Amino acid sequence: DIQLTQSPSFLSASVGDRVTITCRASQGISSHLAWYQEKPGKAPKLLIYAASTLQSGVPSRFSGSGSGTEFTLTISSLQPEDFATYYCLQLYTYPLTFGGGTKVEIK
Amino acid sequence: QLQLQESGPGLVKPSETLSLTCSVSGGSISSSSYRWGWFRQSPGKGLEWIGNIHYSGSIYYNLSLEGRVTISLDTSKNQFSLKLSSVTAADTAVYYCARRKEVAGGWFEPWGQGTLVTVAS
């Protein structure tokens, strides 16, 4: 199985900060990676697919990059509604696997 | 606009079979462009992919669930289902269904709102 290691697992930041979350795959997955935002009691929300394509309706402050084994999700200017947990998901091969999550909290 | 809605018992006894249905509205589950998947999230833990199905009959399961999983489609009702047998407390989780688009690696979107299933006697 492909392991996805997210870092950090916890992040404390202020409104307006630039935030970067990393997802490392145990083997190459091309660009077959998606990023999700999850808030308590809500379903995961797709932010980025194919490593760097912004999902329709998602604010442009979110961006994704990377290919192969290393990927990043960047929030250029953190907004109050961005405090949530973020997960990466590899869709390169079965079983599909998630990273362990990054919880972004208010500093 | 496509919507998915999970339904099923919120409480299942240990050793019994968990059965959930995902009803799809605003689109057809018979479309060749999509797969239909199940996920879960145990309390305080991360997300786990359970499996997905294509209307052609192609199915993939997470083998970590040790053969306890069955996913099926009912095209007449435009819904798909999850059965998880021999459940234990470790299967207590919020269960989600979602649609997978298979282009450029693919993605799952939209998702259902999720349904909490508790395994307890």
Mean per-residue pLDDT for B69-74?
96
Question: Chain A contact for B69, CB < 8 A?
Answer: no
Q: Do B106 and A32 touch (CB under 8 A)?
A: yes
Question: Chain A contact for B1, CB < 8 A?
Answer: no
A18, β-bridge pairs: none
| CB contact at 8 A, B12 and B87 | yes
Mind listing the pLDDT tens digit for each residue in A64-98?
999 999 999 999 999 999 999 999 999 999 999 99
Name the strand (E) or helix (H) holding B72. Answer: strand B69-74
Question: Chain B contact for A101, CB < 8 A?
Answer: yes
Does the structure show a pLDDT above 90 at A11? yes
Scored b (16 or more CB within 10 A) or e, A80-103 reads eebbbbbbbbbbbeebbbbbbbbe
User: Mean pLDDT in chain A?
Assistant: 97
Question: Chain B contact for A49, CB < 8 A?
Answer: yes
Nearest residue in B to A54, CA atom: B107
Q: Do B47 and A92 touch (CB under 8 A)?
A: no
Burial of B5 (0-12, 13-18, 19+ CB in 10 A): middle
Identify the DSSP state of A100.
Answer: -
A36, β-bridge pairs: A46, A87
In this prediction, residue B66 has a pLDDT band, given cuts at 50, 70 and 90, of confident
Q: What is the pLDDT of residue B47?
A: 96
List CB contacts (< 8 A) between A42 and chain B: 113
Mean per-residue pLDDT for A35-61?
96
Q: Do B46 and A34 touch (CB under 8 A)?
A: no
Question: Chain B contact for A34, CB < 8 A?
Answer: yes
In this prediction, residue A56 has a pLDDT band, given cuts at 50, 70 and 90, of very high
Measured CA to CA, the distance from residue B35 to residue B14 in angstroms comes to 30
| Residue from A49, A55, A85, A97 whose CB has the most chain B CBs within 10 Å, to mutate | A49
